[in-house]
Amino acid sequence: MNTQTPAAAAPTGAVPVGVSARAEALAALEGSFERLMQQWRRSYLDAAECVSPGMLPATYKVLTMISREGAATVSTLAEHLSADKGFVSRTVSELEELALVTRVPDPHDGRVRLISLTELGCRRLHVARSPYQHRLAEELDSWPVATIDRLTTLLDALTTGETPHP
Amino acid sequence: MSPMSTDDPLHSPERDEAIRAVEGEFVQMISRFRRMIARRAEMLSPGLLPGAYKVFSTIAQSGPLTASVLVDQLMLDKSQLSRTVADLEKRGLVERTPDPNDRRAQLLSATDEGKARYDEIRESSDSLSMRTTLDEWDISEIRRLATLLHALNDE
């Protein structure tokens, strides 16, 4: 649980701006992003491990894509994952062996088979995801709304390439 | 405006809305990052998949290294990695040399051509966009964002 309130550590008033101060601020920001990415990666590993011990993150990614699509062909999955079709096909077989997914004939075209989650697959994925589903909301629980809004503004400025106004 | 003095009830519609907005920003950032990797893969070699770009950039940054180190580092399966390396080799981006410490193992490294293209990509405007954007920011805003993200990271 996050006990630190971000506003307490935020700088107030005018700050002397030097080249090294700016470089330090940039390095701190990059460090924050890096840690955030590491944390996401870790949650991904934990979720994969929770679905099935020893499952690789890439396999977990295919599973979540199947869940998102509902029912899809190997080609569609490969396209949406920007992955190799052979790899997706082997991963689907692996998931099928674990009884997490199943192949059913396409009702519109009997020659085509669609891949979807089994009940077990749905359940396991739900359990694996639940610790992370409300994670952000929990982290932000102790933040005042105005501070959350500020974070949104700054992130938005960063992705759109704009300059935020204080 | 002091954010500390804002006293709002938990789980108000306003709070839910604010949290959804942060989530939306992160989703946007991740998809932007994904598109950037896809663009870089295409720049490196037309038709190259994003997954192969990650393998290549790891070899270019930390190579020469063995396939087993790569497997551990990128958490891929062995056969998937060897197909990817074969593809990168065919494209002239990666080469294998015998490992002086272990005759049975081979070291993977970026070719001169691969290194040159990788440097070119890293110097392209695409990679510099975050720094360029931040050039215009007031230092207090940079610090503020770093502090907010840092607080978000704390467990």
DSSP string, A27-70: HHHHHHHHHHHHHHHHHHHHHHHHHSTT--HHHHHHHHHHHHHS
B151/A9 touch (CB, cutoff 8 Å), yes or no? yes
Say which of B12, B134, B154 has its CB closest to residue A26: B134
> What is the residue whose two structure tokens read 């270019």?
B60
pLDDT confidence band for A11 (50 / 70 / 90): very low
Q: Residues with Cβ < 8 Å from B90, sequence gap 6 or more? A: none
Amino acid A42 reads R
A141 has pLDDT over 70: yes
Residues of B in contact with A58 (CB under 8 A): 51, 75-77, 80
Listed ranges A22-26, A155-159, B54-58; the one with the highest mean pLDDT: B54-58
Using CA atoms of A134, A140, A145, A150 in order, give the dihedral in degrees to the nearest 10. -110
Confidence (pLDDT) at A16: 54
Residue of B nearest to A39 (CA): B153
In A45-74, the residues whose Cβ lies within 8 Å of chain B are 45, 56-58
Say which of A5, A87, A150 has its CB closest to residue B80: A87
Give the distance, in angstroms, between the CA of residue A114 and the centroid of all CA atoms in the same chain. Answer: 25
Give the residue-averaged pLDDT of A147-160: 90
> What is the residue whose two structure tokens read 């599973």?
A63
Q: Residues with Cβ < 8 Å from B57, sequence gap 6 or more? A: B118
Q: What percent of chain A has pLDDT over 70?
A: 89
Q: Walk along chain B (155 residues) and give the pLDDT tens digit of each residue.
A: 334 444 455 668 888 888 889 888 888 888 888 888 899 999 999 999 999 999 999 999 988 999 999 998 888 888 889 999 999 999 999 999 998 888 888 999 999 999 999 999 988 866 667 777 888 899 999 999 999 998 887 65
Confidence (pLDDT) at A8: 43
Confidence (pLDDT) at B82: 92
pLDDT confidence band for A53 (50 / 70 / 90): very high
A2 has pLDDT over 50: no
Residue whose C-alpha is closest to residue B34's, from A158, A66, A37, A150: A37
* CA pair distance B136, B142, nearest whole angstrom: 10
Q: How many residues does chain A have?
A: 166
Asked if residue A29 lies in contact with residue B134, where contact means CB atoms within 8 angstroms, the answer is yes
Say which of A56, A141, A155 has its CB closest to residue B75: A56
Say which of A31, A83, A146 has its CB closest to residue B3: A146
Asked if residue B93 lies in contact with residue B113, where contact means CB atoms within 8 angstroms, the answer is yes
The Cβ of residue A137 has, within 10 Å, a number of other Cβ atoms equal to 15
Residues of A in contact with B23 (CB under 8 A): 136
